[in-house]
Amino acid sequence: MKLENDLLLRAARGQKIERTPVWLMRQAGRILPEYRQIRNALSGFKELVETPQLAAEVTIQPVDILNVDAAIIFSDILVVPESMGLSYEMVEKKGPYFSKTIKTSNDIKNISIPDVHDNLSYVFEAIKITKSELKGKVPLIGFAGAPWTIFAYMIEGQGSKTFSKAKSFLYREPELSHQLLGLITETTIAYLKAQISSGADLVQLFDSWAGILTHQQYEEFGMKYVYKICEAIHEAPVTVFAKGAYSALENMKGLKCETIGLDWNMSISEAKTIFQNQKTLQGNLDPCVLYGDYNLIKQKTKEMLNSFAGHRHIANLGHGVYPDVSPDHVKCFIETVKSN
């Protein structure tokens, strides 16, 4: 089906666009009362993730309500480690919790590369329903966690300020680490390919914990696998968002991907100098700006757009939208980009 609005895809490929496209990380869920109504009728977050019809519904909500230029499938990066043998719960107000974690080589032996079509069929089903219900209005983004970030949860078993268990595992067990990262990478490639064949028009890799590794560790255990994934995906444009990976930006020039996400702390001018219009940059308004009044939101959004001027750009926040931001403030951000 031909897309009515394909700005995002043209921007990602560096083609001519009439205006900068805009969407928000975490736009599906969290901030919309229409989302909370659906969510509150369920047993929990995971029921929503695993119910394709409802996942599709909350995926489409921001397209209709906020008027963004793309939908992103409502799901969770942790469905991948779960499909590999580590199930998790999403604990209300606390976050994810894995009762089993990886501690030894024996634990890794119990990790399998799943048949994603079988194990994660609910995600592909949600993508198919979404694509059908979107009726070509805007592109649909698929996503996965980058291998290091997934690895971090598999070792740590939950969120952490320091992820020191996962980091020290890299130091203590480099070979086992590479083994596990390899398994995650293979699963992720199959998972993203299946998302694309189900209908995703673009896929984004989230390396949420890139910023806690040293430069050297991120090169060895992070970027290496991001590179492999980018190299394997030819079916759709790829975006890499490695939060906090300031010193890795230079080396990301070599990734075979179309778009690089910038967090709100990354310097736009530095990124422009590095990427020289050879990739599209995505981001990077500070999500906290949306707590300000309309004037502030307009002013900071315009400043951000001006800073990216002359470079391939997709407008977004520099991180997921915060849950307690008013939808009207989000709309103001979106409208400011669209009318710029």
Active site residues: 26, 30, 39, 76, 153
Could you say which of 132, 214, 277, 326 contacts its own copies (CB under 8 A)? 214
Nearest to 20 by CA among 302, 271, 320: 302
Strand partners, 89: 97
Closer CB to its own copies, 73 or 285, in the complex? 285
Tell me how many residues contact its own copies (CB under 8 A): 30
**Which phi and psi angles does 198 have, rounded to 5°?**
-85, -15
289 binds its own copies (CB under 8 A): yes
Distance CA 311, CA 14 (A): 9
Which residue in the set 64, 293, 302, 328 belongs to the binding site for its own copies (CB under 8 A)?
293
The reply on whether position 306 binds its own copies by CB under 8 A is no
Evaluate whether 27 touches 62 at the Cβ level (below 8 Å): yes
| E strand segments, the chain | 71-72, 88-91, 95-98, 140-145, 202-207, 238-242, 259-261, 280-285, 313-317
Whole-angstrom distance between the N-terminal and C-terminal Cα of the chain? 29
DSSP calls for 272-328: HHHHTTSSEEEEEE-GGGGGS-HHHHHHHHHHHHHHHTTS-EEEEESSPPPTTS-HH
User: 30: which 2 tokens?
Assistant: 């969290």
The strand pairing partners of 140, in sequence order, are 71
Q: Of the listed pieces 47-55, 188-196, 224-232, 266-274, which binds its own copies according to CB under 8 A? A: 266-274
Q: Tell me whether residue 101 or residue 267 sits nearer to its own copies (CB atom).
A: 267
Instruction: Work out which of 51, 264, 298, 338 binds its own copies, going by CB under 8 A.
Output: 264
Nearest residue (CB) to its own copies, 73 versus 260: 260
By rule CB under 8 A, what string of x and - marks binding of each residue 224-263 to its own copies? Answer: --------------------x-xx----------------
Per-residue contact string for residues 104-133; x = within reach of its own copies by CB under 8 A: ------------------------------
Q: Which of residues 316-335 bind its own copies (CB under 8 A)?
A: 322
273 binds its own copies (CB under 8 A): no
Q: Given the rule CB under 8 A, which of 21-29, 42-50, 120-128, 293-301 is the region that contacts its own copies? A: 293-301
Is 160 an interacting residue with respect to its own copies (CB under 8 A)?
Answer: no
> CA 15, CA 134: separation in Å to the nearest integer?
23
C-alpha distances (whole Å) from 119 to each of 15, 173, 190, 191, 268 are 36, 29, 12, 10, 40
Q: Is 197 in the site for its own copies (CB under 8 A)?
A: no
267 touches its own copies by CB under 8 A: yes
Looking at residue 278, its amino acid is Q
Site string for its own copies, 42-61 (x = CB under 8 A): --------------------
Task: Tell me the residue type at 6.
Answer: D
Is residue 77 a contact residue for its own copies (CB under 8 A)?
Answer: no
CA angle 160, 161, 163 (to 5 degrees): 55
d(CA 23, CA 25): 7
CB of 102 to its own copies, least distance (A): 16
Comparing CB distances to its own copies, the nearer of 122 and 294 is: 294
d(CA 112, CA 166): 20
Q: Which of 172, 276, 310, 339 binds its own copies (CB under 8 A)?
A: 172
List residues binding its own copies (CB under 8 A).
Answer: 162, 164, 167-168, 171-172, 211-215, 217, 244, 246-247, 264-267, 270, 286-289, 291-293, 296, 300, 322
